Amino acid sequence: MRRAAATVSTLALAAAAQPATATTLQEALAQAYRTNPTLNAARAQLRATNEGVPLAKADGRPNIGVNGTYERQLHRDFPLSTPIQSASGQATLSVPVYQGGIVRNSINAAKEGVEAGEEQLRATESSVFAQVVAAYLDVISDSAVVTFNLQNVRSLEVNLQASTDRFKVGDLTRTDVAQSDTRLALARANLESAQAQLISSKERYISLVGSEPVDLQPPPQLPGLPASPEAAVEVALKDNPDILAAKSTRNAARYQVNAAKGQIAPRLSGFVRGSYTDFLDSRTFGAPTPVSKSAAAGVQLTVPIYQGGRPGAATRQAVARESQAIEQTVATERSVIAQTRSAYANWQASLQTIESTRKAVDSGSLSLEGVQAENKAGTRTILDILDSQRDLLNAQVQYVSAQRNAYVAGFSLIAAMGHAEARDLALDGGALYDATAYYKTVRNKLFDFDFGKPAAQVSTSTAGTKTQDSTIIPGGFGAK
């Protein structure tokens, strides 16, 4: 498999420092690596692609066939020497000598297909990991958002009770109470929405990882982030699996063109044939012998003269598909460049947003304290307090969202660069899947009855997991 050297990961070091009962991002990725059905299906697809090589080689290998016949005469007039019944058998060995380059080019195309399949598996692996990272961070951030909204509801409940008490003694108006009541109703609605989003994120996590999220720990620092978008693109052009897969597909298409052209070439094969016939004691008058034996060997040359235009059409079709593969390679390269640059921009923007929203949380906390104090002094209204509480909640939510977005964007950037597979992330939990092991096993297999192992489910079912609720997941990050 063509790929760059793995980047040095900090995930293992960060995971080692976590409590034994906690779930780290590395552990979630490792579990998804073992049990995710999308990833296991991609591995099965690669194994199917690997079989293309022995299939192509089979067309250039000898063929051995045996046939038998039993025959009985139901009616005859003459000659009397014709046996009434007979049994015969024939064995034939045919050896292709020259096939016009079709076999050789088909084998090369199949090998390029294997290369493409390995890169496509890398791409699937990166995609699944990116989804797991997003789901992991979503549960953490959504738990924090629910916490903030719950705190806001409780604060507004206290505020409404205080406003009601002050209204009863004539210190506030009915309008002040109505304003507090309105904000509390809106806060409760926002809490319900945040809880529903948390449930959705938990279920998404289960579908990807295969187990329920428990005590998710803050994610570790991402490894191998580039210093500039140009550096990121340079790495992506060399290591991105989508680009490498497209190039291998293009190379395979070129070999298919040569294979199609081979249809007009002569074909040469050798053969050995032997037969045996037994007349089963049914000799009649004049029959010479009870059995007949024969053996023959030779070569056969087939020279195509006219095939109805099939070779020309097949070659033109293969050329068109090669052109398609060439253009798809360019399109993939364009897409990866745009994806890499966009991921870098999103990552940088999210980092800036983290700093801005952190300051907003600090300022919002001070502002709320000041407004509450000034309200007691009679210089601020209830509406001013409600506005300050709303502003602080918005700042807290944006701060947590910015942390989530920065991490997800950073991981997406690493994935676009082609460095977000298991080897790059130093996953624990057992040996890594060797994408080349199966190919090495089957590429030279010869036997017709070697059917391999029967299909079996590898991924785990989530039918036994609990329906998720809005319980806040411990751990993670929160507002400053």
Domains of the chain listed by start with CATH number: 25-59+101-265+310-440 (1.20.1600.10), 61-72+81-98+267-302 (2.20.25)
Q: How far is CA 396 from CA 187, 354, 356, 369, 477, in A?
A: 14, 11, 11, 16, 11
Residue 80: per-residue pLDDT: 59
| Percent residues over pLDDT 90 in the chain | 70
CA pair distance 355, 434, nearest whole angstrom: 42
What percentage of the chain reaches a pLDDT higher than 70?
A: 91
pLDDT in tens, 105-147: 999 999 999 999 999 999 999 999 999 999 999 999 999 999 9
How far apart are the C-alpha atoms of 134 and 387, rounded to whole Å? 32
Chain segment 347-373, per-residue pLDDT in tens: 999 999 999 999 999 999 999 889 989
pLDDT of 480 > 80? The answer is no
What is residue 203's predicted lDDT score, i.e. its pLDDT? 97
Give the span between the Cα atoms of 253 and 274, in whole angstroms. 41
pLDDT of 5 reads 34
HSE-CB at 434 with a 13 A cutoff on CA atoms is 7
Instruction: State residue 475's pLDDT score.
Output: 67
pLDDT(48) > 80: yes
* Strand, coil or helix: 227: coil
Average pLDDT on 329-338 reads 98
pTM: 0.87
- 229-255 per-position pLDDT tens digit: 999 999 999 999 999 999 999 999 999
9 pLDDT band (50/70/90 cuts)? very low
Which tens digit of pLDDT belongs to each residue from 256-309?
Answer: 999 999 999 999 999 999 999 888 776 555 555 678 899 999 999 999 999 999
Sign of CA pseudo-dihedral 236, 239, 244, 247: positive
